[in-house]
Amino acid sequence: MCGIYKYHKIIFTNFVNNVTIVSSREEVVIVGIREKLKTSQVRLVELASYLNISRPTLYRYLELYEQKEYNGIDKRCYDLFSFIDKSRNLTRPVMMDYLINKILPIEGQSESDVEIIATIRKLTLSQSILDVKKVHLIRVLCLTDKLDNAIDSLLDNARDAENKSERH
């Protein structure tokens, strides 16, 4: 469970002596994983699908996590629940980014595919202006057809650069 802290000031006025006493107390409000998923608009059915488990299994894991019985939870689910639990402002994009970069497996892919995905993941974490531009280019290439006409030219330039570096 994640604690979100709210501070309340309690003001007492002593009318006899006309003295105001202000004291603060901390009230811990518990916001559970289910509530965080709901506010971030991530449905449990969808989450179960991403984790490749059934919805009832996801519910069982959630109950075990809430009861602090971590031994009965799949490691990927435990890691995800811990991330959700520790996140103060969980949004759907943050959740999807975590799933893609930390949870979803890279199974059945060639070694070069795994290398490419790992490189792209590193680029997304970089603060370098050039890396940010590379990520933007990758997104445009993958999500639109705006650069389809330029792909051949880009590949030709890349091959030319590779050939030049091999000659030297």
Report the pLDDT value the prediction gives residue 80, as an integer from 0 to 100: 92
Report the pLDDT value the prediction gives residue 55, as an integer from 0 to 100: 94
Report the pLDDT value the prediction gives residue 60, as an integer from 0 to 100: 95
How far is CA 99 from each of CA 31, 47, 77, 151, rounded to the nearest angstrom? 21, 9, 10, 30
What is the phi/psi pair of residue 20, to 5°?
-105, 125
Report the pLDDT value the prediction gives residue 31, as an integer from 0 to 100: 63
Report the pLDDT value the prediction gives residue 138, as an integer from 0 to 100: 86
What is the phi/psi pair of residue 43, to 5°?
-80, 145
Query: In which residue ranges of the chain is pLDDT below 50?
Result: 1-30
Report the pLDDT value the prediction gives residue 105, as an integer from 0 to 100: 61
Residues 6+ apart with CB under 8 A from 35: none
Q: Indicate whether this model's pTM tops 0.85.
A: no
Handedness of CA 136, 158, 156, 116 (dihedral sign): negative
Domain layout of the chain by residue ranges:
106-168
Residues 6+ apart with CB under 8 A from 78: 61, 65, 70
